Chains A and B, each alone.
Chain A
């Protein structure tokens, strides 16, 4: 059984030879460039190779294929080039401007970028402002250059499952544009404004999904999309708010993805998001990531019992305490526990809950992968 078959079996809720392992296959299962530098040094591998950045604003590393092969992980990341005008991964300027006209400032000691301005920040913004803002052209396909060749090359060079990392976050992009606090308040106080922003973002992302999947759809197994719905202590908003504002738009996008290619939908939402799982499954997600086990209501035993037949869980190895602060033995116990909870009958891909911060010791990263392979044998 090869990696791809192993991953597809898990998604189809079947037990493979072992639980598949992901490290560096998606925009939410990788690590910070500084952490990657430490890992390479620890492994004494690829020290002469420059670290590629998968996502500039989070300083997320694109893990080298040979290192993934050495570790025996089961997934590959396919990244489509950012549209012109979006943050360039190689650009290390202090202020970057994205395609929506938002400015991102680099915070050196934190090692990431945060938005500092947007055309839709502030109390005066109305539906008219949204209409008159300069939006990215949905017909722009500049980002497709080389995508098909790259996807084909990855497909031919590996038997790993390939994840097209499209992101296409309707909720996250809309809240970035409006500013998180105003966005949340407007969901109640001025929903028409939020809907007008979401509509433009959805329209743009639907065109992008169509264009990208037309190019690479036949070479990929999984499409990564995401929209955070949870916080540490509870859902970001009520299920009613989700159903009214976000769900119909996500449904349209997921329908487009599924009709454009034979792919599984990998849905990423941080935080306490268990109340949304039934609705997400209904609109077509196959995989739920990252299963933030430290958030409220995200107990893996309970999740498996309630939703195990609806979604494949992907992630769940704790990044808030165990991976950064735990011992190697604690990491192994954590992996064992998550596999026991989530893997019976298939439906689990083992990975860290989200990207690892620079402080996570290389020993713990390797222990996670080793333990997944050791305890994951069916």
Chain B
């Protein structure tokens, strides 16, 4: 049950012991892919569910996500050996004119915890920056974030331009003022009101 202790460490926000737990699990014979899937990713799924149930809040989610990230950073070189399969590649950023990034960062780290390769292009990102990153990374999904009511216009423009230039990428949007209705109106393929939901939505899109 050594992978269970990796899972527990994430849910107990035990950032200082997560690497030791992973080492122990692997020394006992667990392979890196299993530690990732049944330890880290499974734990982050549980974090998302606890958040959705109102048992966890942003501080708990961030602390769990940081613990997961510490573990993932240690695990990454081993994963390359094990040829672990990625869920997909996602480009994420906050739209032009908007400097807010906590929500975006939380979505990024939850997606990473969900097994996606995540490329974060930061805040105040021009459409061209999204397009370049999508093309360079051959991304499956692009996520755009806006916190300000007044940058929803920039989001709309970016989404239209991305759809034209990168027709095969799935577009997801989110952020405080963004609603499903707005997402539909601007032609986005996916929307989520929170970080945990974004992982579910991204998996749905790639599952077709």
Q: Contact residues of A with B, CB < 8 Å? A: 107, 109-110, 114, 180-181, 184-185, 187-189, 231-238, 241, 294, 319-321, 324, 357-359
Out of A188, A236, A238, A359, which one reaches B150, CB within 8 Å? Answer: A359
Given contacts A110-B99, A357-B150, contact A189 B63 (CB under 8 A): yes
Q: Is the CB of A320 within 8 A of B149?
A: yes
Bound-state Cα–Cα, A188 to B10, Å = 13
Q: Which residues of B contact A233 (CB under 8 A)?
A: 176, 193-194
Q: Which residues of A contact B99 (CB under 8 A)?
A: 107, 110, 114
Bound-state Cα–Cα, A294 to B148, Å = 13
Least CB distance from A275 to B in Å reads 9
Majority-rule SS of A interface residues: loop
Least CB distance from B111 to A in Å reads 16
Q: Is the CB of A110 within 8 A of B97?
A: yes
Q: Is B166 on the interface with A (CB-CB < 8 A)?
A: no
Q: Is the CB of A181 within 8 A of B57?
A: no
Out of A107, A237, A358, which one reaches B59, CB within 8 Å? Answer: A237
Least CB distance from A227 to B in Å reads 16
Least CB distance from A245 to B in Å reads 10
In the complex, what residue of chain B is closest to A182 when comparing beta carbons? B62
Bound-state Cα–Cα, A234 to B60, Å = 13
Q: Is the CB of B176 within 8 A of A232?
A: yes
Out of A184, A357, A359, which one reaches B58, CB within 8 Å? Answer: A184
Given contacts A107-B99, A231-B176, A234-B54, contact A184 B62 (CB under 8 A): yes
In the complex, what residue of chain A is closest to B193 when comparing beta carbons? A233
Q: CB-defined interface of B188-201 with A at 8 Å, one 1/0 digit per residue?
A: 00000110000000
Q: Is B187 on the interface with A (CB-CB < 8 A)?
A: no
Bound-state Cα–Cα, A122 to B12, Å = 23
Least CB distance from B162 to A in Å reads 21
A to B contact number (C-beta, < 8 Å): 63
The A-contacting residues of B in range 83-123, CB under 8 angstroms, are 97-99, 102, 105
Given contacts A319-B149, A324-B149, contact A185 B194 (CB under 8 A): no
Bound-state Cα–Cα, A185 to B67, Å = 11
4 closest pairs, A vs B, by CB? Answer: A232-B176, A188-B63, A185-B62, A187-B59
Bound-state Cα–Cα, A60 to B99, Å = 18
Least CB distance from B158 to A in Å reads 15
Q: Which residues of B contact A236 (CB under 8 A)?
A: 57-58
Least CB distance from A72 to B in Å reads 28
In the complex, what residue of chain B is closest to A112 when comparing beta carbons? B99
Q: Is the CB of B15 within 8 A of A189?
A: yes
Bound-state Cα–Cα, A321 to B62, Å = 29
Q: Which residues of B contact A357 (CB under 8 A)?
A: 148-150
Q: Is the CB of A231 within 8 A of B149?
A: no
Bound-state Cα–Cα, A110 to B15, Å = 37
Name the residue in B13, B102, B105 with the highest tally of chain A Cβ atoms < 10 Å from its Cβ: B102
Pull 15 A–B residue pairs with CB atoms less than 8 Å apart, ordered by A: A110-B148, A184-B59, A188-B60, A188-B62, A188-B63, A189-B66, A231-B58, A232-B176, A234-B57, A236-B58, A238-B57, A241-B59, A294-B177, A324-B149, A324-B150
Given contacts A109-B97, A324-B150, contact A237 B57 (CB under 8 A): yes
Name the residue in B60, B98, B99 with the highest tally of chain A Cβ atoms < 10 Å from its Cβ: B60
Q: Is the CB of A188 within 8 A of B194?
A: no
Bound-state Cα–Cα, A320 to B99, Å = 18
Least CB distance from A71 to B in Å reads 24
Q: Is the CB of A235 within 8 A of B150?
A: no
In the complex, what residue of chain A is closest to B65 when comparing beta carbons? A185
